[in-house]
Amino acid sequence: MDIIKAVEADYLKKDAAKLMIGDYVKVHFKVIEGTRERIQVFEGTVIAMHGEGAKETFTVRRVSYGVGVERVFPVHSPKVAKVELVRHGKVRRAKLYYLRNRVGKAAKVVEKI
């Protein structure tokens, strides 16, 4: 078990963002199209976090053209170039799946002051 933890410790990003549930973030994700590579920005609210260590992921949700879009990102992936924190959200739940059923202003998370 110690060998697994040692390998995971080498793999983990030291500069990984300290994300919280309800935060509004911009995730800069490397996309490979053929031989070219570009960075695509996905902006939204963090609604869930799963796992720990090298297997840690977070789910970001946004509404694009009236359709809810959710994307799961690994925290320590080399494809995640950068995670920008736009604002902290004030929430009292570990998972914000209830936002899926809300529309308009009701789907917003209040900013933490």
pLDDT of residue 79: 92
What domains lie within the chain, and their CATH numbers? 2-105 (2.30.30.790)
Residue 9 has pLDDT above 80, yes or no: no
pLDDT per residue as tens digits for the range 20-67: 999 999 999 999 999 999 999 999 999 999 988 888 899 999 999 989
pLDDT of residue 18: 82
Band of residue 14 on the pLDDT scale cut at 50, 70, 90? low
pLDDT of residue 1: 66
Among 27, 5, 6, smallest CA distance to 77 is for: 27
Over residues 86-104, mean pLDDT:
93
